Amino acid sequence: MKNQIAMIKLIPIILLSIACSENENPKPNIPEPEPIKPKEYSFKATPSWADEFDYEGLPDPEKWGYDVGSQNNGWGNNELQYYTEADPDNVNVGDGVLTITALREDMEGLEYTSARLVSKGKGDFLYGRFEVRAKVPPGKGTWGAAWMLPTDWAYGDWPASGEIDILEHVGYDQDVVHISMHTQAYNHSIGTQKTATKKIQNATTEFHTYRVDWTPAYIKGFVDDNEMFHFDNEGKGFGVWPFDKKFHWLLNLAVGGDWGGQQGIDEEAFPAKMEVDYVRVYDLQE
Q: Which amino acid is at 125?
A: F
**Alpha carbons 100 and 136: distance in angstroms, whole number:** 10
DSSP 217: S
Q: What is the CATH number of domain 2-282?
A: 2.60.120.200
pLDDT along the chain (286 residues), means of 10: 43 40 50 67 97 98 96 80 98 98 96 98 98 98 98 97 98 97 96 96 97 97 98 96 98 96 95 98 93
Q: For the chain, list the strands marked E by DSSP.
A: 49-51, 65-66, 81-83, 91-94, 97-107, 110-114, 116-118, 124-125, 128-135, 142-150, 163-170, 176-182, 194-199, 208-214, 218-223, 226-232, 247-255, 272-282
Note the pLDDT tens digit of each residue in 46-77. 999 999 999 999 999 999 999 999 977 767 78
Q: Which of 56, 105, 131, 163 is catalytic?
A: 163
Note the pLDDT tens digit of each residue in 185-195. 999 999 999 99
Residue 56 a catalytic site member: no
User: Contact, 51 vs 279, CB < 8 A?
Assistant: yes
User: Contact, 203 vs 177, CB < 8 A?
Assistant: yes
What is the pTM assigned to this prediction? 0.86
Residue 168 a catalytic site member: yes
Q: Which of 34, 40, 131, 168 is catalytic?
A: 168
